[in-house]
Structure 1
Amino acid sequence: MRRSVLGGVLAVTASLGLAACGGVGGPPGGGPPPSTGGPGELLVGAGTIMQLEGEPAQICLGAVLTSYPPQCAGPELVGFEGWDGIEHESASGRTWGNAWVVGTYDGTSFTLTEPVSVEPPTGWEPSTDEPSEFPQLCDDPAAGAGGSLAGTDLISQQSDLMMFLEAHDGYVLSYVSGGGDVMNVLVSGDAASARVDFREIYAGPLCVQTSELPTWAEIRAAQDALTAEGEDLGVLSSGSGVSGLLDIHLVVADSAHVSAVAEIVAPWLRPDEIAVTGALAPLVG
């Protein structure tokens, strides 16, 4: 194998894409099973229902612009019978509210098989994510021990370091711990050499370790390829999360779409270096 995950370490970087506002998918090994993509497969999802005056309602499964009124778009919601029982708002010719939907999806529209609801369907248990851990990777007794950066603003230094990291060859990801002062950085190359470079920018507590996770540059290149080539795959968001993998959120994560995503990112990432979830999941139980 080209890489192995750094044992026991969970880390996080800022997402490079829009965050999804709805969805019921879970990470590999947890949550609902992947969609088969079969005709008439019964699916469940949660999102923002948006209806413009005089037009059919839509179910927004991805990002929602936080203007007033909010703005979003998604599949047409076939069979929507109105807003009774759904908490909603109206402004400037738009009506919106959050709800659960159950039905079938044909790639363009979502056909309801039961009324929308503020509660998940009976027997359905949405997946829950475990709280993320951000372990401090080392003790750094040399932090703040002198030098030209000692006594300066660590917050500004952190910002400067983050800008430097994004251009650093071999940068994987980073996070803060210890109340926000300890910078933890993962790199693909020699950690000791990288730490010397980083210390010239950051005088606070600094931990640097070598990792075999995908680099930030590989994650970014894969995202750019998805943006350019994945228009028809229903990509709602993508970004590097707590696993250090590329998290990709689709409308439906069936085998055909997952395979197509893996093919697009193959020049940079292996299939086990991506985690694909679906906003619409099979209704089981």
Structure 2
Amino acid sequence: MVAAGLMLAGCASPPASGGHSTSVPSAAAEGMLRTPRAVTVLDAGDGAKLCLGAIATSLPPQCGGPGVIGWDWAEWSGAYTEAAGVRWGSFTLTGSYDADAFTFRPADVRPGNEGGATSAGSWSGEADFSTPCDPPEGGWQVRDAARTTAESMQRVFERAMTLPGYAASWVDRSRIPSVGAEATPEQQLAETAPHPELTIVNVTVVGDVTAAETALTEVWGGMLCVTAAERTEADLLSVMSELMPQSGSHQVLMAAPNTRAGRIDLQVIHDDGALQQEMDQAYGVGTVIVRSVLQPVG
């Protein structure tokens, strides 16, 4: 099994531009892996490390990761920042990864242009706060204004979490004019006014959707979408409880339940497919989705 780590995002002052690329003909050889974008190489005095997971938001930044074999900062003058005895810079790398030795041997290195301390460990993709239900006949409308308040919205979420088979709940705020249908999840969250009359409450359950909807409309008179889920929140948290205390050789960067999608997102430095197969056999296909930071060349 594997150990789940808390994923933190961080940044620091940007490295200076400059440097050059180094490569050897074997960069595209079979078994070579690459970083999907520029990531930070950091050296706190104990050797260069490839920051694929969490980066502490400090100056200088701090991170852990596989050691970078053969790294020579003299080759990258002008492409890195130095502070308090720590050197770091943004680079894209291609090379070979040794999980047992926890090292990365680069065959091709190019200076990045993203600036700051960058990690490849953040989960790709955006959270989906849209409403899966089709609009009801006559369109989305408030059914009872007296039960469409900030207080009743709080009560409907409290009621949802007590439902048999509860899986997830969220709000769709795309109908708020200042947010708009094309707003990103971050923009939706930035809208601080509650606007319950313009908010669609979404709940997913495993089991009787009609009974769940009936229970929720007792406390909520606003727009509501209740849909079926494959896995309950309790099921996903049970899987997480098994993954969290385990330790192994896959160097987990992030593990988190995605209740809206009904899965556990598990991000590792590299998986050749064996870990995904293990997760499928242990928990069922689609329960745990494994993604590797280091990707095969080509």
Give the TM-score category using the shorter length: 0.5 to 0.7
Q: Secondary structure at the match of 1:176?
A: strand
Aligned match of 1:273? 287
Could you list the runs of 5+ residues in structure 2 that have no partner in the other structure? 11-28, 115-123, 177-198
Larger relative contact order (Cα-Cα within 8 Å, sequence gap ≥ 6): 1
Aligned match of 2:181? none
The structure 2 residue matched to 1:96, chosen from 80, 88, 99, is 88
Structure 2 residue 175 is the aligned partner of structure 1 residue 179: yes
Give the TM-score taking structure 1 as reference length: 0.68
Q: Distance in 2 between matches of 1:172 and 1:201?
A: 19
Cα displacement string for residues 171-222 of structure 1 (whole angstroms, at most 9, x for unaligned residues): 22233223361111111121222223334554432211223x2222212221
* Contact 1:49 1:60 survives alignment (8 Å): yes
Matched to 1:44, the amino acid is: R
* Displacement after TM superposition at 1:251 (Å): 0.8
Alignment of 1:191-230 (within 5 A): 191-211=209-229, 213-230=230-247
Structure 2 residue 4 is the aligned partner of structure 1 residue 18: no
Structure 1 pair 157/109, CA: closer, same or farther in 2 (3 Å)? farther
Q: Distance in 1 between matches of 2:164 and 2:242?
A: 20
Structure 1 pair 260/131, CA: closer, same or farther in 2 (3 Å)? closer
Could you list the runs of 5+ residues in structure 1 that have no partner in the other structure? 1-15, 22-38, 121-127
Q: Distance in 1 between matches of 2:65 and 2:270?
A: 13
Matched to 1:210, the amino acid is: A
* Contact 1:258 1:276 survives alignment (8 Å): yes
Structure 1 pair 90/270, CA: closer, same or farther in 2 (3 Å)? same
* Contact 2:129 2:171 survives alignment (8 Å): no
* Displacement after TM superposition at 1:130 (Å): 8.8
Q: Distance in 1 between matches of 2:234 and 2:226?
A: 18
Structure 1 pair 261/58, CA: closer, same or farther in 2 (3 Å)? farther
- The size of the alignment, in residue pairs, is 235
Cα displacement string for residues 236-270 of structure 1 (whole angstroms, at most 9, x for unaligned residues): 1123176433221111121233233445xx2xx31
